[in-house]
Amino acid sequence: MNLAQFNLEIAEVRNDRQHGASELARRCLAVLAGASRTLPAESTVELREWLLTLALTLARTRPSMTPIENLLHHWWETSALDADLELATAREVAAKQAEALIAISQRAVTECAAHAARCLDPGQTIMTHSFSSTVLEVCRLLQGQGSQVIVTESRPLAEGRALAKKLSDWHVPTIYITDAQIGLFVTQADAVLVGADSVLADGAVVNKAGTYLLALAARDQGVPFYVCCESFKWRRTEELPPELEEMAPAELSVPEWPGVTVRNLYFDITPARLVSAWISETGVQAAP
Amino acid sequence: MNLAQFNLEIAEVRNDRQHGASELARRCLAVLAGASRTLPAESTVELREWLLTLALTLARTRPSMTPIENLLHHWWETSALDADLELATAREVAAKQAEALIAISQRAVTECAAHAARCLDPGQTIMTHSFSSTVLEVCRLLQGQGSQVIVTESRPLAEGRALAKKLSDWHVPTIYITDAQIGLFVTQADAVLVGADSVLADGAVVNKAGTYLLALAARDQGVPFYVCCESFKWRRTEELPPELEEMAPAELSVPEWPGVTVRNLYFDITPARLVSAWISETGVQAAP
């Protein structure tokens, strides 16, 4: 891997609107595994410097997505590339550690989904927002149990479509609505289940814009609101909330009108007080 | 006007997604004025029967829009076409009464907007949802006073675009967002101002889907939520809530996936407890 190839990978992660934070974090680890093995370094010290630069660059690419930062930080700490390691060994240690973390993250998502599925009864109606691979895994586990899913469009790029298509393939009965109808349909849900891009130390949830509205409506209608994500998404106590990424106004497909500013913030923050329980690979933590 | 022409008018009112309840109610009155003058009736009794049928048909066309029902009912009651009136006189009485009500409704909207504008200070940021001709009139009154407006897209057909364009023409600084970003931007608003399609006797507000979410977010963030509409939109105590109209799923522009039901309810109901004040042509009624 040379710098041009790396920059291409960075651009793809930056522009990815299809995958959630966990999937992109694992993709970043895969990029680092490849870089560890193939970067044109002459010594372990040079490799270390390169890998640190690449990891920091990747971690800054999607600031709202904490697992990227957390997993890359964890990778760097646990790889511990001593200067006296042989270059070939150092390459293999760093690559293997990245691959091990990918597997750990994948297992965490699976276990998290299993915990979430146990919170739900067969035949219940679940409502979600945006496209979370963890929520998708929960839906996969609930196949054939008479469950129904309410899926929101999730503007501007409508990730809800991909989710609805997947649920259709799996024969899970699905209701597809605009984001504006969230308040109308939350009354039909037995539970709301969303993923997260980040969870703040106090339990507040950074997720696709609209999640806060769904949480407000769920609370107002007495429907439990579950957040379901691997623990790499949690931020440490001393960390500030992440920057809320803003994407191109062009994604809203409106003309340019003089004096009209089109805003396209991708994430909002749902306060912890609106969350009924946080579900991770370690289990279910109900709100106090 | 013959029956074919009348059915054409009905279809246009039914399919109209551009105009609000007040404007459509006035359009229905204009149709009845035309019908009063030109329906092929041979006697006043025949004219009465025709007009009653037409009025009832029009009133049922947009069940979520109470002013249509209210204004048409009021028109019928006040026209009082006695059987012993000459046909030509009866035609003129009915037509003139419809035109008088159009003028009353238009004046009510103007006065309502003037009351609303007085609730706002120069330089404030107002947030709204969907396209209300009353809110538009408020914005017109606030031109050149340094006010700013936050406009939501309002899916599926994005009436917010028409509002943003109008505000651009008037040089009112505007922020345009997706409905999903309502919770992110309500924090920037000094007040939320929405119109209504109907107001229930207890003060609950039937308006474009998403209004309830905006009201929840405004309450959660401590932003006042004003409903601003002529009093013909209020329903009487004994009346049930109106039917919430559902439009074609095709408006969401998604493919047909087996097992996926696309829903397109146009209106939601915001409970009175989330409303800070109701503003009509008679003044401002603050929440108790």
pLDDT at B180 over 90: yes
Closest CA in chain B for residue A177: B263
Query: Do B265 and A181 make contact, defined as CB atoms within 8 angstroms?
Result: yes
Beta partners for A149?
A: A126, A174
pLDDT at B202 over 90: yes
Give which of A265, A261, A268 is closest to B221, Cα–Cα: A268
The tokens for A170 are 């799996």
Question: B257, B265, B270: best mutation site toward chain A, by most A Cβ within 10 Å?
Answer: B257
Kindly give the residue spans of alpha helices, DSSP state H, lying in chain A.
Answer: 3-15, 21-38, 44-61, 66-79, 87-118, 133-142, 160-169, 182-185, 211-221
Give which of B241, B182, B178 is closest to B206, Cα–Cα: B241
Q: Which of A155, A183, A264 sits opposite B212 (nearest CB)?
A: A183
CA distance B16 to chain A (A): 19
pLDDT tens per residue across span A226-259: 999 999 999 988 888 899 999 999 999 999 999 9
Give the separation between CA A180 and CA B84, rounded to whole angstroms.
Answer: 53
Q: Which of A164, A177, A180 sits opposite B154 (nearest CB)?
A: A180
Give the separation between CA A198 and CA A188, rounded to whole angstroms.
Answer: 27
pLDDT at B277 over 80: yes
Give which of B114, B101, B98, B119 is closest to B38, Cα–Cα: B98
> Is residue A259 within 8 Å of B172, Cβ to Cβ?
yes
Classify residue B190 by its DSSP letter: S
pLDDT band at B2 (very low <50, low <70, confident <90, very high): confident
Q: Which of B165, B180, B217 sits opposite A216 (nearest CB)?
A: B217
pLDDT band at A78 (very low <50, low <70, confident <90, very high): very high
Give the separation between CA A31 and CA A98, rounded to whole angstroms.
Answer: 9
pLDDT band at B238 (very low <50, low <70, confident <90, very high): confident
B171 contacts on A by Cβ (under 8 Å): 258-259
Question: A182, A205, A214, A274: best mutation site toward chain B, by most B Cβ within 10 Å?
Answer: A182
pLDDT at A123 over 90: yes
Look at residue A138 and give its three-state secondary structure: helix
> Is residue B200 within 8 Å of B211, Cβ to Cβ?
no
The pLDDT > 70 percentage for chain B reads: 100
Kindly give the residue spans of alpha helices, DSSP state H, lying in A143-263.
Answer: 160-169, 182-185, 211-221
pLDDT band at A18 (very low <50, low <70, confident <90, very high): confident
pLDDT tens per residue across span B24-36: 999 999 999 999 9
> Is residue A33 within 8 Å of A91, Cβ to Cβ?
no
Q: Which residues contact A51 (CB under 8 A, 6 or more apart)?
A: A32, A35, A36, A39, A76, A79, A81, A94
> Is residue B178 within 8 Å of B154, Cβ to Cβ?
no
- Tell me which H or E stretch contains A83: none
Give the separation between CA A154 and CA B285, rounded to whole angstroms.
Answer: 36
Largest CA distance in chain B: 63
Give the separation between CA A197 and CA A66, rounded to whole angstroms.
Answer: 6
Is the link from the previous residue into B156 a cis peptide, with omega within 30 of 0? yes
Give the separation between CA A252 and CA A247, rounded to whole angstroms.
Answer: 10
CA distance A236 to chain B (A): 24
**On the CB side of A77, how many CA atoms lie within 13 Å of its CA?**
7
Closest CA in chain A for residue B274: A220
pLDDT at position B240 is: 86
pLDDT tens per residue across span A169-197: 999 999 999 999 999 999 999 999 999 99
End-to-end CA distance of chain A: 49
Q: Which backbone phi and psi does B193 adopt, to 5 degrees?
A: -135, 115
Give which of A10, A6, A44 is closest to A24, Cα–Cα: A10
CA distance A187 to chain B (A): 12
Query: Do A213 and B257 make contact, defined as CB atoms within 8 angstroms?
Result: no
Tell me the average pLDDT of chain B. Answer: 95
| Measured torsion, CA atoms of residues A248, A252, A253, A258, in degrees rounded to the nearest 10 | -80
Residues B130, B181, A10: CA angle, nearest 5 degrees: 140
The 10 Å Cβ neighbour count of residue A127 is 27
Question: A148, A184, A223: best mutation site toward chain B, by most B Cβ within 10 Å?
Answer: A184
pLDDT at position A88 is: 96
Query: Do A268 and B212 make contact, defined as CB atoms within 8 angstroms?
Result: no
Query: Do B252 and A178 make contact, defined as CB atoms within 8 angstroms?
Result: yes
Give just the sign of the alpha carbon dihedral B127, B133, B138, B139: positive
Q: Which of B161, B172, B263 sits opposite A177 (nearest CB)?
A: B263
A176 contacts on B by Cβ (under 8 Å): 252, 254, 260-263
Q: Which of B153, B167, B260 sits opposite A164 (nearest CB)?
A: B260
Give the separation between CA B156 and CA A153, rounded to whole angstroms.
Answer: 10
pLDDT at position A226 is: 98
Query: Do A259 and B165 make contact, defined as CB atoms within 8 angstroms?
Result: no
Q: Which residues contact B95 (CB under 8 A, 6 or more apart)?
A: B32, B33, B34, B36, B37
In this predicted complex, what is the ipTM?
Answer: 0.95
CA distance A169 to chain B (A): 8
CB contacts < 8 A (A, B): 164
Q: Which of A161, A183, A260 sits opposite B213 (nearest CB)?
A: A183
Give the separation between CA A49 and CA A216, rounded to whole angstroms.
Answer: 46
Closest CA in chain A for residue B186: A213
pLDDT band at A213 (very low <50, low <70, confident <90, very high): very high
Query: Do A181 and B220 make contact, defined as CB atoms within 8 angstroms?
Result: no
Q: Which among A121, A197, A220, A268 is annotated as catalytic? A: A197
A182 contacts on B by Cβ (under 8 Å): 210, 213
pLDDT at position B118 is: 95
The tokens for B58 are 């029009």
How many residues belong to chain B? 288
- If phi > 0 it is left, if psi is from -120 to 50 it is alpha, else beta; for residue A56 that is alpha
pLDDT at A83 over 80: yes
pTM comes to 0.95
Closest CA in chain A for residue B187: A268
Query: Do B265 and A174 make contact, defined as CB atoms within 8 angstroms?
Result: no
A252 contacts on B by Cβ (under 8 Å): 153, 176, 178
Give the separation between CA A254 and CA A247, rounded to whole angstroms.
Answer: 14
Give the separation between CA A116 and CA B84, rounded to whole angstroms.
Answer: 74
B176 contacts on A by Cβ (under 8 Å): 252, 254, 260-263
The pLDDT > 90 percentage for chain B reads: 91
- Catalytic residue status for A197: yes
pLDDT tens per residue across span B121-138: 999 999 999 999 999 999
Q: Which backbone phi and psi does B26 adopt, to 5 degrees?
A: -70, -35
How many residues belong to chain A? 288
Give which of B121, B180, B162 is closest to B145, Cα–Cα: B121
Task: Give the full edge-to-edge strand order of the sheet including A277-280.
Answer: A283-286, A277-280, A225-228, A191-194, A125-128, A148-152, A174-177, B260-262
B178 contacts on A by Cβ (under 8 Å): 155-156, 179, 209, 252, 264
Q: Which residues contact A110 (CB under 8 A, 6 or more apart)?
A: A137
Give which of B265, B262, B244 is closest to B253, Cα–Cα: B262
Q: Which among B197, B202, B220, B268 is annotated as catalytic? A: B197
Query: Do A164 and B268 make contact, defined as CB atoms within 8 angstroms?
Result: no
Query: Do B180 and A213 make contact, defined as CB atoms within 8 angstroms?
Result: yes
